[in-house]
Amino acid sequence: MATSEDYSVITQEELEELKESISTQDLPSAVDTIKHFLDQQDRVELNIAVMGESGSGKSTFINAFRGLGDDDEDSAETGEVETTKEPKAYKHPKYKNMKLWDLPGIGTLNFKADEYLKHVQFERYDFFIIITSDRFRECHADLVKEIKRTKKNFYFIRSKIDVSIDAAKRRQGKNFDEKKTLDNIREDCVNGLREIGVEDPVVFLISGRDLNKYDFNSLHERMETELPEHKRHVLMLTVPNITTEIIERKKKSLEKNISSVGLLSAAVAALPVPGLSVAVDIALIVNKIQKYKTAFGLDDESLQKISERSGKSVEFLKSVMKSVVREEITTASIILLLKQSSLYVAEEAVERVLSFIPIIGSVLAAGLSFVAVSYMLKKILNEIAEDGRNVHLASM
């Protein structure tokens, strides 16, 4: 059986603490404690700083990264001349703990790079994004030298790639080669950065209009690998479902988290409180299904938005969905689901019988519960991710 050391999402200490507090509670409060713990996991803060000159495409990128268009509620104003001198936070519409910070245009404050970083409170950010829509200049290089001293990560973005591609198409006509054009732009940016003293720069080509194209996926993948584990989860949860690759990576990330839920279930099952194990398992599963539904954009609000953007009706989008989230999730529907899973029925019977012999019984039930809950959740996650993928394809 897996041990909690394998999973940094839940520590042995947290597990013990939870067990301790649950063992003294009545059933409803125990279930609440578990729900609260699970919600906390998704509330790790992630703060991303976006910097660049005015007009470079910061606001457009900030909106796209949060899955918003320019005209959506809560979206950042684009095409505005920047007047603010303070960083402004833009929250993710569904995960308020994830914020993108629009930093005052570099150059507008007449600060040196170190003063600038102090002014924008650099400690606050997990990493920095530096955007330009043409070439990188001294001001960008100075900033990077200072950021390096803070030991934080940074990423270079060359924005408005769609504009460059259109221009190349017009210029080159029949000889247009997209890959070659992109390689040239990337090489120009990298060489430019080297010339102003940045060692081994990596530049990502992005269009805020078509975030699903060009280098967005590799940028996001790189950010993910360079973040600490508990922050990675938030980065993956909040990424818009704009390509099948991203949907697949999101699924993998959520799958890793399942083991901790299984462990939780096992820990609870080991407590000699009749009925607790099943009640907690149901609460755990309902909680996770709701989260998967939101993560893959299958909640009503998201479907409505996809429908408006794609011109496909909500009914049509729903018609490609097959998983449990097509209907409303209730405790009753989950119990039905559990009953259909032979694994679980076996466990329930075992649990009832063995609870008369507390010590051996609880150990056995714990093992079974871990397997059953993990198995169930993996199966459900796969089905919901598949729905996410099908809705994404149907909206194109």
Ligand X SMILES: Nc1nc2c(ncn2[C@@H]2O[C@H](COP(=O)(O)OP(=O)(O)O)[C@@H](O)[C@H]2O)c(=O)[nH]1
The count of other CB atoms within 10 Å of the CB of residue 108 is: 14
Residue 52 touches which of ligand X, Mg ion, none (CB < 5 to 8 A by kind)?
A: ligand X
| Residue closest to Mg ion (Cβ) | 59
Residue 240 touches which of ligand X, Mg ion, none (CB < 5 to 8 A by kind)?
A: none
- Does residue 209 touch ligand X according to CB under 6 A? yes
With CB under 6 A as the contact rule, which of the stretches 139-147, 155-163, 280-288, 359-367 interacts with ligand X?
155-163
- Calpha distance 336→323 (Å, rounded): 14
CB of 91 to ligand X, least distance (A): 17
For residue 153, CA distances in Å to 34, 97, 105, 126, 336 come to 34, 20, 19, 8, 47
CB of 105 to ligand X, least distance (A): 7
**N-term to C-term CA, the chain:** 43
CB of 87 to Mg ion, least distance (A): 12
- Calpha distance 316→307 (Å, rounded): 9
Nearer to ligand X, 60 or 253 (CB): 60
CB of 46 to ligand X, least distance (A): 20
**Which one of 55, 69, 107, 272 is in contact with ligand X (CB under 6 A)?**
55
- Calpha distance 263→270 (Å, rounded): 11
- Does residue 323 touch ligand X according to CB under 6 A? no
Sheet with strand 98-102: strands edge to edge:
88-91, 98-102, 46-52, 127-132, 153-158, 203-205
CB of 148 to ligand X, least distance (A): 23
What is the helix (H) or strand (E) element at residue 193, kind and residue range?
helix 178-195
- Calpha distance 199→374 (Å, rounded): 45
- Does residue 160 touch ligand X according to CB under 6 A? yes
Q: What's the token pair of residue 169?
A: 């198409």
Q: What's the token pair of residue 20?
A: 């301790």
CB of 200 to ligand X, least distance (A): 25
Helices and strands of the chain, counted as H and E runs: 16, 6
DSSP assignments along 324-344, one per residue = GGGSPP-HHHHHHHHHHSHHH
Q: Cα torsion at 296, 300, 302, 308 (round to 10°)? A: 140
- Does residue 213 touch ligand X according to CB under 6 A? no
- Residues binding Mg ion (CB under 5 A): 59
What is the helix (H) or strand (E) element at residue 350, kind and residue range?
helix 342-354
- Does residue 159 touch ligand X according to CB under 6 A? yes
CB of 306 to Mg ion, least distance (A): 26
- Calpha distance 156→205 (Å, rounded): 9
**Which one of 8, 25, 33, 54 is in contact with ligand X (CB under 6 A)?**
54
- Does residue 52 touch ligand X according to CB under 6 A? yes
Residue given tokens 């490609």 in the structure block: 320
**Which one of 4, 41, 47, 60 is in contact with ligand X (CB under 6 A)?**
60
Nearer to ligand X, 76 or 266 (CB): 76
- Does residue 208 touch ligand X according to CB under 6 A? yes
**Which one of 4, 41, 47, 56 is in contact with ligand X (CB under 6 A)?**
56
Phi-psi region of 131 (alpha: psi -120 to 50; beta: other; left: phi over 0): beta
CB of 165 to Mg ion, least distance (A): 23
With CB under 6 A as the contact rule, which of the stretches 201-209, 265-273, 341-349, 350-358 interacts with ligand X?
201-209
- Sheet strands (E) in 108-247: 127-132, 153-158, 203-205
- Does residue 134 touch ligand X according to CB under 6 A? no
- Does residue 58 touch ligand X according to CB under 6 A? yes
Query: Which positions from 64 through 83 interact with ligand X, judged by CB under 6 A?
Result: 78-80, 82
- Does residue 162 touch ligand X according to CB under 6 A? yes
Binding site for ligand X (CB under 6 A): 52, 54-60, 78-80, 82, 159-160, 162-163, 207-209
